Structure 1
Amino acid sequence: MMLQLNVDILFLIFEELKNDTKSFYSYLLVNKTWCIMTVPILWRDPNIISLSDEAKRKLFDVIFLHLSKESRDILKSRGISNLFSETYQHPLFNYISFWKHLDLFFIEGLIFQGNIKGSNIFIIKNEIMKLFIKGSNIFIIKNEIMKLFINENTRFIHLYIAQNFNYKVHSIPGAEHCLSGLESFSCRSCVDQSILEGLSSICKSIKRLKFFVESFNVNINFGIIKLIEAQKNLNEVHLFNYSVTKSFEGLIEKSLIKHADTIQYLRIRSAPVTKFLSYLVNLSSLEIEFMDPWNNLNNFENFSVPNLKILRTKQVPYNILVNLIENTKGYLTEINTFYNFSYEIVNIELIIQAIYKNCLNLKYLLFSSNNSNSIIPEFETLLIKCQFLNELILLIHDHNDYAFSWDKLFIVLAKSSPISLLRFKFYSISMFNLKDIALFFYNWKNRNPMTLGICNNNSYFNKRSKNKPLEDLCEKYKLKGIIKKYIIEYTKLVDYKDFTAFN
């Protein structure tokens, strides 16, 4: 009984540490029990970390060792015999049975390429490369490897189908058992329609769907429509490059309406062509990224999201954003809004007003602004009214001659921040001077210590500078108990997500 308890506790501990793959490898060597418990966790998703070409070669070798005698005989009958050594034997564990995330693009990459991100180097052993020149041999080997993954002994929760994939995975014996428990599915619109139609008859429990629409693919893929409609509890939907043909978009949106009761998370990269968003009354998280500035925005008019808790937008016209915020019912706890201010005119004051009038329960705010100092009074009102705010990220685009008054903003932050607000992240191109932020630290005394992130690419704070004045200042106030933890980045910000990655 005590042994069972210890194993159960170890399992819970390993589950918490599962993302620490470096440490996990050492656990394998502790004893037999630890090895048996860690191997299934490590092999759930071998593609979760970036693998070197050498690692991919070894992984392919391990996969190949799982081939049955029947599969080996099939390969040998085709003249593919030098893949096997005289000491051929099955691995100690059936590693493939532990896989839960099946990425068919990754699997094809192991077979055909050394680097699935773009290299054309074969990873298969040099002595057998010539066998892959012949298309028939490629197909035979691929066929036998696919049977290793799709069978009665495996059960996947995530499936990603590669671009232009045309292998009938749903027709492989054991596919119904293997794929019926899928919870997450990703594919592209150029995938063979019959494959998606076949999966729609097997997979009914998909909760998370990612669908990539290629701009060059103008044909309607009715398979994805059938797959969407077949689901019983579709909860999370991501639509990428979602701007091809209005008829295709309209069909997808209509199929999503049928899941209005269950969809809680939606991410889109184009304005909708129908008013389907109005039907998704249970949305709790909405992410909108407009790739095309000439979107038709009529379907955003009078759009209400009463239960929305998380709103993330990128390059969404400010009037649409204001309308979205005003049509929530006070449940928003996170707002993440980004503009690059290259082309569009954005009324930042109206956005801030909409936030403090409608989002009193706000806890997290990522806010990008131009360098207009007129936002500071409105921002102070936001700090006073949003008393639950605990994390603030500011991206100030002050790249012209009219500099932003960081000193005034820091005074407002020190004076009016609610007691819950202890996490700050700042990004600017020209950046504030040391005197401004030193005053911010000084005025923060008698408050709980803050966690601070700063990102800029200004030469004054060059990382290779000998004096490192900003680090020295932060370290000084860390010793005084004003700062709990800080991180400073000097690389140019490419996207707002680069900055939110700071912990």
Structure 2
Amino acid sequence: MSKLNLDCLALIFNELKDKKSLHSCLLVNKEWCNLVVPILWKSFLCYEENEENKSIYYNTILSLLSSSSKQLLINNNIKLPLPNLLDSPLFNYISFCKFPNSDIVNGVINMVLKNHNNHDKKYLLEQEIYKLFITQCKNIKELYWKTTQQLSLFPGASTCFSNLIKLNINLDYINSNSLEEMAKYCKNLNELSIHNPKDSPGLISLIDSQKNLKEIFLYSVKYKERTYEKLSDSLSRKSNSLIKLELSNIIIIPLSFLTSLVNLTTIFIFFNEVNEHDDDIKKIKEFQKYLAMSEFPNLQILSIYWLLCFKELANLIEKTNENLLYLDIYNTPRNATNTGMLISSIANNCPNIKTLRTYIEPKDFIHIKSLLLNCKNLKEVKFDSLYAFINLNDNILGDELLDILIKFSPKSLNIITISAIWKYSIDGFENFFENYRDCTLRQFNLCKNYDYDITEDHKAIINKYVDEGVIRSSVCTFY
């Protein structure tokens, strides 16, 4: 039998998702073993769930610690599993690995120290594990930095981290000096995630040193009173390269930098629910002001969570040069207004939009017609109600929306989610689904459902059309 080319084998092995099959390949011959071992070790740190297998991997990591590290640990009464001090591994497995996150390192520590609360021992073992990876891992592309260990100051750090393209840091753990050192040789990041940002010189240096930073993510666990003008300024200086921005609970930063980021194609903004009497509502209103002032002509994806900003979004969408493809507005406060203004702005300025999820009121149904007629590429819509209960005086308003969807929906639209609170007649339901017999609905969903809105007859109709294949799937949760 002719022998398979090793390059072909490598491609095949990389496509295999079944670890059992890969383990079987190890036993075929030495060449196969040499190809499979790096593949297994490249992924085990992320995907291994079996506790027994984890222990094997963790023990192997400990066995690869340098002699000086092992002796240091022994001198500090940290007892390593005996086999790791006797056996010599066949491969330098660490060189195949991705750089471990803190969960993996903590897993090794807990296996050795059995969850003992000796901080000094934990810190020392953690230090030696990170030193091992930093000296052995080359060309690391991603780093999740959530430890007080000053990784950037360890021997070999400049080689290990100089080619990073994705860095995730938590500033509750990392000091400014460590970031300052990282900035000296980490200059090619495409993506930077910052948890609990601070106006530290090291962070500013790290951002400023990047040559082509494309994506920035800022997350804060809770609102803080301090503001960070230097961080805001540093983000403004990256306006030429930044194309993606994600903000979560970030009202601690002067948000004037938004108006500078004219090349953004993707924006995600998330706020936790805030009390209207909370002082932070003023900062959120300031954010909405800057949002309305900003221009993002290349914007394609926009997701907003918990903001009263339909008017500002309508103004923003008018300046997107018809590039918007995805708009998702989620968990909006119930006292929001101008929902119809937003629908109208989308209809007039977003002919290429594919996904729209937003809130409307029955009075906005009139705008849905022009939306469906002008946006011929729509694939998914979600129209939710702003209110949990509406006094409809027993009027059935939902049939009006169903009728508009039947008459004016583009052929591409096959995922539809609507609020159950607007009430639908049985005949209206039947007529709506019959219209889709020749073009199957991929999904039909109901949101904010209440028993008095959707009867058992409505549920039976949905189930009937699912069974008949008119609706491929349906998610209808009834409270």
Q: TM-score, normalised by structure 2?
A: 0.83
Separation of aligned partners in 2, 1:189 and 1:205: 20
Matched, 1:201 2:201: no
1:211 and 2:194 equivalent?
yes
For the residue of structure 1 that corresponds to 2:302, the secondary structure is strand
User: What residue in structure 2 maps to residue 10 of structure 1?
Assistant: 12
Q: Out of 119, 122, 130, which is 1:146 matched to?
A: 130
CA distance in 2, matches of 1:434, 1:100: 57
Deviation of 1:283 (Å): 0.8
> Which whole-Å deviations, capped at 9, do the CAs of 1:429-486 have from their partners, x for residues lacking one?
788676544322101233x32210525575759xxx9x973663233330xxx33x31
Find the counterpart in structure 2 of residue 116 from structure 1.
none
Aligned length: 452
1:244 is the counterpart of 2:220: no
Q: Residues 401 and 359 from structure 1, CA distance in 2 versus in 1: closer, same or farther, beyond 3 angstroms?
A: closer
- Per the TM alignment, residue 407 of structure 1 is displaced from its structure 2 partner at its CA by 2.5
2:416 paired residue number? 424
Counterpart of 1:266, as a letter, is L
Q: Which residues in structure 2 correspond to 1:371-386 (within 5 Å)?
A: 372-386=361-375
The AA in structure 2 aligned to 1:97 is: S
Aligned to 1:486: 473
- Name the structure 1 match of 2:74: 76
Hey, what does 1:161 align to over in structure 2? 145
State yes or no: 1:232 paired with 2:211: yes
Structure-2 change in CA distance of 1:67 and 1:9 (3 Å): closer
CA contact under 8 A between 2:325 and 2:353: conserved in structure 1? yes
**SS in structure 2 at match of 1:440:** helix
Counterpart Cα distance in 2 of 1:50 and 1:325: 44
Once the two structures are superposed, residues 298-319 of structure 1 have per-residue CA deviations (whole angstroms, 9 ceiling, x without a partner) of 4334311111111111223222
- The 1:393/1:213 distance shift into structure 2, 3 A limit, reads same
Judging changes above 3 Å, is the alpha-carbon distance between structure 1 residues 325 and 35 closer, same or farther for their aligned structure 2 residues? farther
In the other structure, the counterpart of 1:325 is 317
| Residues 415 and 442, structure 2, Cα contact 8 Å, conserved in 1 | yes
**Judging changes above 3 Å, is the alpha-carbon distance between structure 1 residues 375 and 186 closer, same or farther for their aligned structure 2 residues?**
same
| Equivalent AA in structure 1 for residue 281 of structure 2 | P
Residue pair 2:236, 2:261 contacting (<8 A) in 1 also: yes
SS at match of 2:357: strand
The code of the aligned residue for 1:244 comes to: K
Letter in 1 for 2:373: I
- Listed as ranges, the matches of 1:113-124 within 5 Å are 123-124=110-111
Q: Could you tell me how far apart the structure 2 residues matched to 1:140 and 1:90 are?
A: 23
Q: Does 1:255 align with 2:234?
A: yes
**CA-CA distance at 1:74 after TM superposition:** 3.0
Q: What is the alpha-carbon distance in structure 2 between the residues aligned to residue 438 and residue 90 of structure 1?
A: 71
Q: 2: distance between equivalents of 1:134 and 1:87?
A: 23
Instruction: Classify 1:449/1:397 alpha carbon distance in 2 versus 1 (closer, same or farther; 3 Å).
Output: same
Q: Offset of 1:406 from its aligned partner?
A: 2.9
State how far apart, in whole Å, the 2-side matches of 1:273 and 1:87 are: 54
Shift of 1:212: 1.5
C-alpha change, 1:470 and 1:198, in structure 2 (3 Å) is: farther
Alpha-carbon offset, residue 210 of structure 1:
0.9
Paired AA for residue 232 in structure 1:
K
* Uncovered stretches (5+) of structure 2, i.e. residues with no partner: 273-279
**Contact in 1 for aligned 2:295/2:319 (Cα 8 Å):** yes
Q: Which residue of 1 aligns with 2:398?
A: 406
Query: 2:322·2:350 contact (CA, 8 Å) conserved in 1?
Result: yes
| 1:398–1:428 contact (8 Å) kept in structure 2 | no
8 Å CA contact 2:245–2:264 kept in 1: the answer is yes
**Aligned ranges 1:464-475 → 2 under 5 Å:** 469=460, 472-475=463-466
**CA 1:460–1:243 in structure 2 vs 1: closer, same or farther (change >3 Å)?**
closer
Q: Once the two structures are superposed, what CA deviation does each residue of 1:49-81 show, in whole Å capped at 9, x if it has no partner?
A: 484766654543332232233333333344444
**Bigger shift: residues 146-155 or 84-93:** 84-93
Match of 1:352 among 335, 343, 355: 343
Distance 1:449 1:37, change over 3 A: farther
Q: Is the 8 A contact 1:100 1:155 kept in 2?
A: no
Amino acid at match of 1:179: F
Q: Which amino acid aligns with 1:490?
A: T
Task: Find the aligned partners of 1:274 and 1:170 in 2 and give their Cα distance.
Answer: 30
8 Å CA contact retained: 2:141, 2:165: yes
The answer to whether the 8 Å contact 1:166/1:195 transfers is no
8 Å Cα contact 2:297-2:321 kept in structure 1: yes
**Scaled by the length of structure 1, what TM-score is found?**
0.79
For 1:326-362, what per-residue CA distance to the aligned partner results, in whole angstroms no more than 9, with x for missing partners? 12111111111224333x3222110100101111111
Structure 1 residues 35 and 244, CA gap change in structure 2 (3 angstroms): farther
Q: Give the CA deviation at 1:220.
A: 3.3
Whether the 8 Å CA contact 2:45–2:104 is kept in 1: the answer is: no
The correspondence for 2:441, drawn from 447, 450, 456, is: 450
Q: 1:36 and 1:440, CA in 2 relative to 1: closer, same or farther beyond 3 A?
A: farther
Secondary structure of 2:21 counterpart: helix
In structure 2, how many angstroms separate the alpha carbons of the residues matched to 1:41 and 1:393? 42
Amino acid at match of 2:179: L
